[in-house]
């Protein structure tokens, strides 16, 4: 069986999102791209296990996530020590971004526990439903919901959104808060 042009096109279409998801998991763009590369190779190799008509994007994200965790398991000790290192690396890379509020967000994301971080990224940024995110992470839907809620609560603190001023003054982010409140 040859790889269909459609399969290939769907893979290519998913790459930008996979890179963003990889970056949120690893906090490093070089590592993120290595993950994406592994994901593409696995997807290609196992294309027969993909069931046409099911969610290709979710399938690819699942592969990337599995790859990430299997790499972590391989160098478990290194990673356990690296908790603080993760945050400081993020800080360095985030500052290079130039966008201050983007850097703030990356640093805040880095402070979330891994399970909460991936849950809020999948649901809050990648556009997956709770059900899809639950499938990708191989947990119950309720678990994803609770992780997302906890992640939001933590981000609220980390981004100082619990200070009323901070919310209303955060106009640079481009959200029309007055519009939001007006109903």
Partner 1 sequence: MVENKKNKDKAAKPAKKIKDMMSVAARPEVSDLIAHRLRKYYDAVAAQPVPDRFLDLLNQLDAASSSKKSE
Residues lying near partner 1 in the complex (CB under 8 A) are found at: 2-3, 8, 11-12, 15-17, 19-20, 23-24, 33, 36-37, 40-41, 44, 99, 101-102, 104-109, 111, 120-121, 124-126, 149-150, 152-163, 166-167, 169-170, 172-175, 177, 180-181
Least distance CB 99 / partner 1 (angstroms):
7
Give 75 or 175: the residue with its C-beta nearer to partner 1: 175
User: Which structure tokens are listed for 154?
Assistant: 């933590």
Least distance CB 74 / partner 1 (angstroms):
22
Euclidean distance between CA atoms 130 and 148, whole angstroms = 9
Q: Which residues contact 39 (CB under 8 A, 6 or more apart)?
A: 18, 22, 60, 63, 64, 67
Q: What is the 3-state secondary structure (H, E, C) of 110-173?
A: HCCCHHHHHHHHHHHCCCCCHHHHHHHHCCCHHHHHHHHHHHHHHHHHHCCCCCHHHHHHHHHH
**Distances 27 to 14, 143, 162 between C-alpha atoms, Å:** 19, 24, 26
Least distance CB 68 / partner 1 (angstroms):
16
Give 11 or 137: the residue with its C-beta nearer to partner 1: 11
Give 59 or 126: the residue with its C-beta nearer to partner 1: 126
Give 44 or 75: the residue with its C-beta nearer to partner 1: 44
Angle, CA 4 vertex, CA 123 and CA 40 arms, to 5°: 45
Give 1 or 76: the residue with its C-beta nearer to partner 1: 1
């Amino acid at each position: 069986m040859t790889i269909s042009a459609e399969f290939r096109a769907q893979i290519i279409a998913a790459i930008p999102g996979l890179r963003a998801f990889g970056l949120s998991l690893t906090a490093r763009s070089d590592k993120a791209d290595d993950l994406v590369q592994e994901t593409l190779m696995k997807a290609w190799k196992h294309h027969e296990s993909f069931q046409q008509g099911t969610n290709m994007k979710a399938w690819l994200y699942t592969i990337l996530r599995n790859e990430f965790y299997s790499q972590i398991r391989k160098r478990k000790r290194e990673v356990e020590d690296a908790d603080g290192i993760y945050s400081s690396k993020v800080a360095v890379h985030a500052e290079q971004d130039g966008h201050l509020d983007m850097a703030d967000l990356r640093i805040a994301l880095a402070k979330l526990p891994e399970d909460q971080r991936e849950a809020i990224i999948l649901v809050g940024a990648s556009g997956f439903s709770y059900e899809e995110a639950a499938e990708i992470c191989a947990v119950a839907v309720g678990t994803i919901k609770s992780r997302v809620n906890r992640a939001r609560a933590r981000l609220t603190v980390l981004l100082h959104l619990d200070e009323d001023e901070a919310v209303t003054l955060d106009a640079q982010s481009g959200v029309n808060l007055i519009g939001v409140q007006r109903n």
